[in-house]
């Protein structure tokens, strides 16, 4: 359990909060590139870390992420006109470029220099992997060293990756904790007969070794700190010589690589606070060495089991608390453990129902929650450090994010991080080889 004050500390991410400062020391995902697909397209508004933002793509294709409020009278720039290298507020015609500079102030005399003294708050942005990343701790044009992490899915060709996002109605932390809770999948995402939930696992994901997860639902957990975050090993008996390990990589601030067997599609989850009661859930599936097939893309795009069905034209899930996530009690009796279609909705049925911010003073943590406890402590330590003026290395060391989360068999007398090293670092090896060729 956590005290109310510790819970507040970890869950509040506004600009003046320690955790907010931690997030603002990184470049983080703020929207998908597809949301602003072409030059001079309509701007979009997005809330991140409790900040109302507006994003637009200018005439040359450059992306701007600005505070939504116009610096003139604080009207919303979302209703602005995106035209000729800038976003123009419809209230009085003030126009701002992607760097936040006021480039036109038509209701002042043409010779006035006032426009040079007015600036919209704009943030440094970079597009990678189909995502617009922003560093909300700096102003566009200022020198900063926070870099977009070299997560492997950012480095593969677009054809090898599918990525989308949904808005989830709960604080980021309780959902992120689910990403590193390796024990829940053997229940929430399973069938009553202990087999993998075929209604949950994608038809393309038939991992041979996963059966061990359902044979042993009480694995032993091991965690080890890394410079980027925490490596979480869930160990189950396989045979007399080997253990079955599922190794989750949790990386600051809120990224999780989900364990996968070699050769399968790989997955990364990212939880970005929209505000303290909602978060953006970015999820990607990718293959490091081949394009996704049309069948895979078709399932992903139409809200299969790994991605959610959303309301048309939005990033809002169709299954919500308001409709009980469309639970089917007949299916729950005979088909799947949860009776809810799709892994993300299954997850949300347990995380959203904790409340907008889970009351952690009421919880009773077990040994299987060791990774959650460790991650909370790491987040708090990191926030403490940033608040104290310490510079974390992770935001400035993109390459440390270039790794994988393997699920594999290892000899019983081998440390999991040693035995799995080759599989974990294969991303780096393969990327270096490709870069050299």
Partner 1 sequence: MGCAHRARPRSGVVRLGEALAIPYIRGAEAVFDAATQAWLRRFEYAELPGCAVESDSAMEGMRALERARVRGILTRVAAGQEVPRPRPPLTGVSVSRQLDALGLAASRDLLEKSLADAAAAPELVALLRTLDGTREDRCRS
Binding positions for partner 1, rule: CB under 8 A: 1-2, 218, 220-228, 233, 235, 243, 365-370, 373-374, 377, 380-382, 384-385, 388, 390, 392-394, 410, 412-418
CA neighbor of 268 nearest in space, from 407, 157, 180, 153: 153
Q: Measured from the CB of residue 364, what is the shortest distance to partner 1 in angstroms?
A: 9
Q: How far is the CB of 209 from partner 1 (least distance, A)?
A: 17
CA distance 205 to 398: 29
Contact 31, 128 (CB under 8 A): no
Shortest gap between Cβ of 198 and partner 1 (angstroms)? 31
Cβ(188)–Cβ(346) below 8 Å: yes
Nearer of residues 54 and 410 to partner 1, judged by Cβ: 410
Q: Are 338 and 315 in contact (CB under 8 A)?
A: no
Shortest approach of partner 1 to residue 48 CB, angstroms?
24
Closer residue to partner 1 in complex, CB, 100/229: 229
Distance CA 112, CA 377 (A): 53
Instruction: Please give the sequence-ordered ranges of beta strands (E in DSSP) within 238-295, or none if there are none.
Output: 242-251, 255-258, 266-275, 278-286
Q: Dmax of the chain from CA atoms?
A: 84
Pick between residue 34 and residue 384 the one whose CB is nearest to partner 1.
Answer: 384
For 10, phi and psi rounded to 5 degrees?
Answer: -80, -25
CA atoms within 13 A on the CB side of 265: 24
- Which is closer to partner 1, CB of 167 or CB of 380? 380
- We find the least distance from the C-beta atom of residue 423 to partner 1, in angstroms, to be 16
CB-wise, 76 or 226, nearer to partner 1?
226
**Minimum gap (Å) between residue 221 Cβ and partner 1:** 5
Identify which of residues 196 and 232 has a Cβ nearer to partner 1 in the complex: 232
Q: Provide, rounded to whole angstroms, the least separation between the CB of residue 74 and partner 1.
A: 38
**CB-based burial, 286-304: b 16+ in 10 Å, e otherwise:** bbbeeebeeebeebbeebb
Query: Which CB, 159 or 225, lies closer to partner 1?
Result: 225
Question: What's the min distance (Å) between Cβ of 235 and partner 1?
Answer: 7
3-state secondary structure of 313: coil
Q: Which is nearer to partner 1, 13 or 183 (CB)?
A: 183
The span from the CA of 134 to the CA of 50, in Å, is 14
In this structure, are residues 171 and 12 in contact, taking their beta carbons and an 8 Å threshold? Answer: no
Least distance in angstroms from the C-beta of 381 to partner 1 = 6
Beta carbons within 8 Å of 268's beta carbon, 6+ residues apart: 151, 153, 255, 256, 257, 258, 283, 284, 286
Which of 295/384 has CB closer to partner 1? 384
Give the residue with the Cβ less far from partner 1, 120 or 383.
Answer: 383
Count of alpha carbons within 13 angstroms of residue 144, beta-carbon side: 21
- Min CB(370)–partner 1 separation in Å: 4
Taking alpha carbons only, the member of 271, 285, 283, 268 closest to residue 404 is: 268
125: left (phi over 0), alpha (psi -120 to 50) or beta: beta
Residue count (the chain):
437
């Amino acid at each position: 359990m956590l005290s109310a004050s510790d819970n507040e500390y970890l869950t509040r991410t506004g600009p003046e909060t320690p955790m907010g400062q931690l997030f603002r020391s990184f470049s983080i995902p703020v929207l998908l590139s597809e949301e602003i697909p072409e030059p001079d397209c309509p701007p979009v508004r997005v809330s991140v870390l409790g900040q109302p933002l507006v994003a637009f793509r200018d005439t040359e294709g450059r992306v701007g992420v600005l505070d939504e409020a116009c610096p003139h009278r604080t009207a919303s720039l979302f209703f602005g006109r995106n035209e000729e290298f800038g976003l123009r507020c419809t209230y009085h015609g003030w126009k701002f470029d992607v760097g936040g500079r006021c480039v036109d102030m038509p209701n002042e005399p043409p010779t006035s220099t006032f426009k040079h003294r007015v600036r919209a708050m704009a943030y440094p942005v970079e597009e990678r992997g189909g995502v617009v990343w922003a560093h909300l701790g700096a102003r566009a044009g200022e020198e900063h060293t926070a870099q977009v992490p070299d997560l492997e899915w950012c480095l593969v060709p677009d054809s090898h990756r599918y990525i989308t996002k949904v808005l989830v109605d709960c604080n980021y932390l309780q959902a992120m904790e689910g990403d590193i809770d390796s024990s829940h999948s053997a229940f929430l995402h399973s069938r009553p007969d202990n087999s993998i939930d075929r209604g949950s696992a994608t038809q393309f994901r038939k991992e041979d070794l996963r059966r061990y997860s359902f044979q042993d639902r009480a694995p032993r957990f091991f965690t080890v700190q890394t410079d980027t975050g925490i490596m979480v090993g869930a160990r189950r008996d396989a045979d007399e010589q080997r253990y079955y390990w599922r190794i989750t990589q949790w990386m600051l601030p809120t990224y999780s690589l989900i364990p996968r067997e070699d050769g399968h599609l790989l997955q990364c989850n990212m939880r970005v606070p929209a505000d303290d009661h909602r978060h953006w859930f970015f999820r990607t599936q990718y293959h490091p060495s081949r394009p996704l097939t049309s069948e895979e893309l078709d399932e992903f795009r139409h809200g299969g089991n790994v991605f959610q069905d959303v309301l048309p034209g939005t990033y809002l899930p169709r299954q919500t608390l308001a409709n009980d996530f469309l639970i089917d009690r007949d299916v729950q009796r005979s088909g799947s453990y949860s009776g809810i279609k799709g892994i993300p909705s299954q997850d949300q049925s347990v995380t959203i129902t904790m409340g907008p911010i889970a009351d952690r003073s009421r919880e009773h943590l077990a040994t299987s929650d060791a990774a959650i406890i460790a991650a909370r402590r790491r987040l708090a330590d990191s926030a403490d450090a940033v608040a104290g003026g310490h510079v974390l290395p992770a935001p400035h060391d993109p390459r440390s994010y270039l790794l994988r989360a393997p699920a594999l068999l290892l000899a019983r007398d081998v440390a999991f991080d040693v035995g799995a090293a080759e599989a974990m670092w294969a991303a780096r090896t393969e990327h270096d080889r490709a870069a050299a060729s």
